[in-house]
């Protein structure tokens, strides 16, 4: 069946990018500030097991207008996709009545921040530093432990994430959206699926 362009799948969330999509970013059809990184270890809902599990490896998705819901390229029911002719692989393979083509490639050849920036990019050092200082997997582990000492450790991790993010934004003048690609989303947003109150 061909795509009816109803926008139902676009409203749920943007696609993860694969190797075949790299040219979209390199050619400028998709900007880095239109992407969001989900870091390894972040809690995500696993549809097969119907539970929140840590993400096995980093993925890059097209972000929504606000957060992960929807796709920034979806212009509404009447206007459809603003990059339809060059839409990413997952969008091209998605078939409402036959999930097999998308399922075949879903976990294969996913792009990372290093792939998109290039291995020698100056911002990779910042990305590595942030991943080491504020690992998403550790935040997830701490967030599931109700002990008071663990809560303090989690508060320190959230504080370090917030401080590094603000220092980066102050120093570079980058947009919040670009920070969400380079550093992933702020940890309170990342941990929101766990239903915790994490404001500091």
Nearest residue to 133 (alpha-carbon basis) of 164, 168, 155: 164
Q: How far apart are CA 95 and CA 176, in angstroms?
A: 33
Which one of 85-93, 108-116, 179-187, 188-196 is the stretch in contact with ligand SF4 (CB under 6 A)?
85-93
Angle at 141 between CA 39 and CA 130, to 5 degrees: 40
59 binds ligand SF4 (CB under 6 A): no
CA distances from 112 to 7, 103, 124, 164 (A): 26, 19, 11, 21
Q: Binding ligand SF4 by CB under 6 A: which of 18, 74, 130, 165?
A: 74
Total residues at interface with ligand SF4 (CB under 6 A): 12
CB of 195 to ligand SF4, least distance (A): 27
Contact 32, 178 (CB under 8 A): yes
CB of 53 to ligand SF4, least distance (A): 24
Q: Binding ligand SF4 by CB under 6 A: which of 22, 44, 81, 102?
A: 81
63 binds ligand SF4 (CB under 6 A): no
In the block, tokens 């796709």 appear at 71
What phi and psi, each to the nearest 5 degrees, are found at residue 133? -75, -35
Looking at residue 15, the DSSP 8-state letter turns out to be P
Query: Binding marks (x or -) toward ligand SF4, 18..57, rule CB under 6 A?
Result: ----------------------------------------
Contact 64, 13 (CB under 8 A): yes
What phi and psi, each to the nearest 5 degrees, are found at residue 180? -70, -25
14 binds ligand SF4 (CB under 6 A): yes
Of 5 and 45, the one with the shorter C-beta distance to ligand SF4 is: 5
168 binds ligand SF4 (CB under 6 A): no
What residue ranges bind ligand SF4 (CB under 6 A)? 10, 14-15, 62, 71, 73-74, 81, 83, 87-88, 91
């Amino acid at each position: 069946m061909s795509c009816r362009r109803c926008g139902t799948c676009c409203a749920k969330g943007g696609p993860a990018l694969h190797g075949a999509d790299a040219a979209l970013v390199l050619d400028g059809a998709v900007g880095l500030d239109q992407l969001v990184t989900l870091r390894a270890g972040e809690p995500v809902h696993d549809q097969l097991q119907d539970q929140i599990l840590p993400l096995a490896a980093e993925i890059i998705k097209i972000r929504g207008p606000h957060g992960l819901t929807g796709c920034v390229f979806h212009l509404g029911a009447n206007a459809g996709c603003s990059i339809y002719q060059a839409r990413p692989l997952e969008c091209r393979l998605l078939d409402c009545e036959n999930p097999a083509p998308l399922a075949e490639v879903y976990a294969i050849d996913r792009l990372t921040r290093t792939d998109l920036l290039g291995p020698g990019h100056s911002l990779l050092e910042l990305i590595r530093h942030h991943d080491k200082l504020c690992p998403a997997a550790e935040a997830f582990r701490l967030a599931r432990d109700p002990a008071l000492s663990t809560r303090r450790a989690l508060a320190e991790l959230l504080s370090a994430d917030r401080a590094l993010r603000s220092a980066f934004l102050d120093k570079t003048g980058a947009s919040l959206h670009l920070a969400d690609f380079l550093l992933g989303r702020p940890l309170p947003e990342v941990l929101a699926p766990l239903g915790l109150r994490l404001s500091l």
